[in-house]
Amino acid sequence: MTDVHVRRATRNDLGSIRQIEDTSFPDPYPEALMVRLLREHPKGFLVAENDSGKIVGYCVCSASGRLAHVISIGVLREYRRRKVATSLIQALLVQLGSRIRELWLEVNTANQEAVKFYEGFGFRSIMIIENYYSDGSPALRMRLALNEAVKESPPPTRERVA
């Protein structure tokens, strides 16, 4: 397990976020989109940094009304399976607070490790979306009803999941 500190992302973090994005996904989001997401969703764009201040993970979420959507979550390969994505999701749930009732996301159906990770938070499979990704692969849409989520999770200590 790795101790990480989760905080809101800043424009200065974009280089590190790009590195995570580029090494985590076969079709990474372009830099212009990441800049736009940071500008449009500053409260929902979080980074996890290690004790040395190195950014090792990020997540970005949009929120509108009572609904929120996890757009992307990524963790540096060498920090995976060390609770970085868990810390990011926990911090995101705290950030969203009680105003959000549902949290949605899409995950590649072939990424069973990520599906199990999300199920551990209480996400449930809703539907498969054919040809969702640029390579034609399908996505699994998952939903978390926040009134069903475990709110007693400890606050994060000093994760699409890649």
* Domain-located, residue 151: no
pLDDT in tens, 45-58: 999 999 999 999 99
The CATH number given to whatever domain includes residue 89 is 3.40.630.30
* Domain-located, residue 156: no
Burial (CB count within 10 angstroms: exposed 0-12, middle 13-18, buried 19+), residue 55: buried
* Domain-located, residue 155: no
* Domain-located, residue 153: no
Beta-carbon contacts of 13 under 8 Å, excluding residues fewer than 6 positions away, are: 47, 55, 58
- How many domains does the chain fold into? 1
User: Does the global pTM surpass 0.75?
Assistant: yes
pLDDT value of residue 1: 56
- The domain in which residue 111 lies consists of 5-145
pLDDT value of residue 155: 41
Beta-carbon contacts of 71 under 8 Å, excluding residues fewer than 6 positions away, are: 37, 41, 60, 61, 62, 160
* Domain-located, residue 160: no
* Domain-located, residue 122: yes
pLDDT value of residue 162: 52
Neighbouring C-beta atoms of residue 26, cutoff 10 Å:
10
What angle do the packed helices 14-24 and 31-40 form, to 10 degrees? 120
- Integer CA distances (angstroms), 117 to 9, 37, 65, 96, 136, in order: 23, 24, 26, 20, 23
pLDDT in tens, 6-19: 999 999 999 999 99
* Domain-located, residue 35: yes
* Domain-located, residue 157: no
Spans of the chain, pLDDT less than 70: 1-2, 148-162
CA-based nearest residue to 82, from 109, 63, 57, 108: 57
The answer to whether the Cα torsion of 66, 149, 124, 75 is positive or negative is positive
